[in-house]
Amino acid sequence: MYILVAGRGVAGSDATEREKNSSDSGPVGILSPSATASKPSSTDSKPGTRDAQSLAGRGTDEVEAALGKPSGKLQNAQGALWLYAEWRVQFDADNHVLKVEKDQPMRLSKLDPQFVASSDAVAKGAYARAAADDAARAKAAELQKERIRIVSDGGQEVDLPSLMAPGKITIVDFYAEWCGPCRRISPQLEQMAKTDPDVTLLKIDIVNWNTPVIRQFGIQSVPNMRVFDRTGKQLGDATHDVSLVMKSVEQAKGS
């Protein structure tokens, strides 16, 4: 009897031990989903966490598999440049990785008030100079208008003294649009008026040979140029020769 109890005790002890071992090792058979699910690898959890420096020499497909699609693509002298949030990948002409660089974000520093004030002063100075230049150009344009006047009123009679600039030497050029020699000498006369502050040019269009201004001044040919001194007095006769006009202008300056 004692032996039987002891055997039971041994058997019970073995059963208990088997249950304990079975509990420690887990159930055998179909595992629950929670037990079979493996913890995702930190390396595979998201693209871009792989050591990007190891991509040197790799192709575009391998780079995209490792880092994902780039946020931007550029083209430079070396080849394609792929931009990521944390990396810049430079390819060569054959689309193999030349280098991978860490992309450091730029941070704007606080502006120095003195720098801002200096920049404002420079901008104001530039604006003032531009305004002064515009004013000077406008004044020069007005002076040119005063120095070169064109009368084209159908060949009517003109009040010549009222058209002359006071205190200036005036060259009066009777011309016609259809006159070839008139067109050739006109630039020379205009240049004299533009460059010589003592000279003004008055151009009067005769239109044709039957207009009142032809009869008023007895014009028989064009070009027909006359020089008047500062008092409005005509120097010499009418001429078609620019060199004679220049001599009369010099004479008027000396008088």
Tell me the chain's radius of gyration from C-alpha atoms: 50
Active site residue 253: no
Whether residue 179 lies in the annotated active site: yes
List the catalytic residue out of 182, 193, 207, 227. Answer: 182
Catalytic residue among 52, 160, 179, 252: 179
Tokens of 219: 């014009």
Is-contact 173 242, C-beta < 8 A?
no
Residue type, 104: Q
* Sheet with 87-91, side-by-side order of all strands: 72-75, 80-83, 87-91, 97-102
Q: How far is CA 188 from CA 61, 68, 132, 170, 185, in A?
A: 73, 74, 30, 15, 5
Single-letter residue type at 63: V
Cα 234 from Cα 252, distance rounded (Å)? 10
Which residues are designated catalytic? 179, 182
